[in-house]
Amino acid sequence: MDRRGISVLAAAVAAILLVVGCAQAAAPAPAALTIEMEPPGHWHVTRAKTLTFTVMDGAGNPVTGLSPMVTVKTLQGSVDEVAATDDGDGIYSAEYAAFDIGGGYASAYSVAFLFEYEGSRYFEAWPAEVVRDGNEGIMPTIGGTMHAYQVRYGWDPAGAMAGEEVTMYLEPRRSIQTGDEINTEQPWRNTFNHISDLEDVSVLVETADGEFVASLDATYAGLGIYRATFTPASAGEFKVSFLFTDPANGFTIDKGETSYPLMVG
């Protein structure tokens, strides 16, 4: 082989070695990870919910030691960030209380889980449904005819503190069905309408033992919501009752039907 042939062969070998060397030095492809969120179940507004996530590698082994961030996009479009904790075995959790309340029974939220692992960023998101809490099975008999009501509530902030104002949201509804048409076994399956013209509306605040604390005026705020504000003077557990008379049939609700807990720190 002549000198020229040797030079060509040497150049080809050098090129191959260069390619191999570059391939060995290149960053590895991102690992295949599986990210799952445990379904949060029935999620009530203003009540803290623990969101649980699991991260596994391609072989099904837990991925630990991450520093993930959980973001929650609310009904109103704002984004809240919540730091997640490492619970071990590839499980991470974050606690979040949903505050935004819409005009309907359910409000659409979305939950995202973000983290970095071996030089790559990972992201996964899921839809979530947040619903109002309250008594959904108030079924008085008036003039011989059964009616159905539900009253849901929400506090803002959910984590009330002594000396700080709390806004109370109360949502009363009356069912379209009456008498034998009412589903008494699953009353939440009845069809309910908002009630915007209630009379003698007030909010009663008592201690957990039933001692009187305050009687508050409640005003109609639209979208079926009545609103009142309260500033607790001390920490503790309180009971909040929404009182009213329905002019459509004369029904006056008993405080025991809407005695809802307010925890103050």
Please check whether residue 151 is in contact with residue 242, taking contact to mean a CB–CB distance below 8 angstroms: yes
**DSSP secondary-structure letter at 4?**
H
| 125 lies in the same domain as 247 | no
**DSSP secondary-structure letter at 162?**
T
* pLDDT tens sequence for the chain (265 residues): 444 443 433 333 333 333 333 334 444 445 689 999 999 987 887 778 999 999 999 999 999 999 999 999 987 788 999 989 999 999 999 999 887 765 556 788 999 999 999 999 999 999 998 887 889 899 999 999 999 999 988 888 867 899 999 999 899 999 999 999 999 999 988 999 999 999 999 999 999 999 999 999 999 998 889 999 999 999 999 999 999 999 999 999 999 898 898 989 9
Left, alpha or beta for 41 (phi > 0: left; psi -120 to 50: alpha)? left
Indicate the residue type of 145.
T
| 123 lies in the same domain as 145 | no
Please check whether residue 136 is in contact with residue 150, taking contact to mean a CB–CB distance below 8 angstroms: yes
CA–CA separation, 265 and 155 (whole Å): 14
Q: What's the CA dihedral at 142, 143, 144, 146 to 10 degrees?
A: -30
Quote the tokens at residue 207: 């201690």
| 90 lies in the same domain as 120 | yes
| CATH code: domain of residue 246 | 2.60.40.10
Please check whether residue 237 is in contact with residue 208, taking contact to mean a CB–CB distance below 8 angstroms: yes
Quote the tokens at residue 197: 């013209």
Dmax of the chain from CA atoms? Answer: 115
| 143 lies in the same domain as 257 | yes
Residue 212 is assigned to a structural domain of this protein: yes
Query: Structural domain tally of the chain?
Result: 2
Residue 102: the pLDDT is 58
Residue 103: the pLDDT is 53
Residue 172 is assigned to a structural domain of this protein: yes
